Amino acid sequence: MGELPPPSCELDQWALAEVEKRQRSGEVVHALLIGVGAEAQARRMAALGARVVLLSDLDEETQVNVLRRPAALFDALAESDEALPLQPFDIVLCQRALSALPYAEARRRVRRLLGRLKIGGKLFVSLYGIHSDLGDHYTDGGKLVCDRFAVVAPDLARRYGIDSPVCLYSERNLFMLLMECGGAILKTSSSALGHVRGIAARI
């Protein structure tokens, strides 16, 4: 297994910093990873000593401390209260997966994910941004976030590998999503490309 490059995504960097902080206090960190780039991030976290549940269908070599489960389990988790291995988690990292859902369903998933955290555990989430290039010619761009769910322009769909409708978010939309789900919002920000990310804690 080759050495992994450091993460280019700021949200991944924040999550790794959280692992290191918790490890310094003597905790064995349990993490759940879902979405874009989850395979590489699982390996990074495991290399730091975290124990990881990875939802992914990619047939990549992993390593000790990474438990792989099918990506489709993300849908099943919205309907089930059955605990996953290693639950409750210290960290849940969900990269862009919620953008593939209408807002009401994304809100339901976030509540479920927060419920799988320990008290004080943190949810790290990123979403495709309405102010990114994906918002160009997006037919639902003038709608409220709760009503947005449309395909992006064909050239952008090819570039991003998005072949289904998505809900695009502003940073304020993400803030409201996390607040409505009962999370204690620790941080939200927008990337240079206009995508949004945030951290919320279970209280």
Supply the pLDDT for residue 148. 98
For residue 36, is it within any domain?
Answer: yes
DSSP letter, residue 128 = -
- Whether residue 45 is contained in a domain is answered as yes
pLDDT for 57 equals 82
Q: Is residue 108 part of a domain?
A: yes
- What's residue 175's pLDDT? 98
Please report whether residue 144 resides in a domain.
no
- The pLDDT score that the predictor gives to residue 59 is 65
Whole-number pLDDT of residue 8: 74
- Over residues 63-101, the pLDDT tens digits come to 678 888 888 899 998 888 889 999 999 999 999 999 999
Residue 161 lies in a domain: no
Domain count of the fold of the chain? 1
Query: φ, ψ for residue 73 (rounded to 5)?
Result: -65, -25
Q: What domain range includes position 113? A: 10-128+170-201
Answer positive or negative: Cα dihedral of 15, 6, 162, 174: positive
Average model confidence (pLDDT) across the chain: 93
| Mean pLDDT on 176-199 | 97
pLDDT at 2 over 60: no
Number of C-beta neighbours around residue 203 at 10 A? 11
| Model pTM score | 0.93
Rounded to an integer, the average pLDDT of 133-146 is 97
The reported pLDDT for the residue numbered 68 is: 85
What proportions of the chain, in percent to the nearest 5, are helix, strand and coil? Answer: 35, 25, 40
Does position 15 have pLDDT exceeding 90, yes or no? yes
**Can you give the pLDDT at residue 61?**
59
Tell me whether residue 165 is in a domain.
Answer: no
Report the CATH number that the domain containing residue 46 is assigned in CATH: 3.40.50.150
Residue 160 lies in a domain: no
Of 32-36, 118-122, 198-202, the least confident? 32-36
3 state DSSP class of 144: coil
For residue 134, tell me if it sits in a domain: no
| Mean pLDDT along residues 25-37 | 91
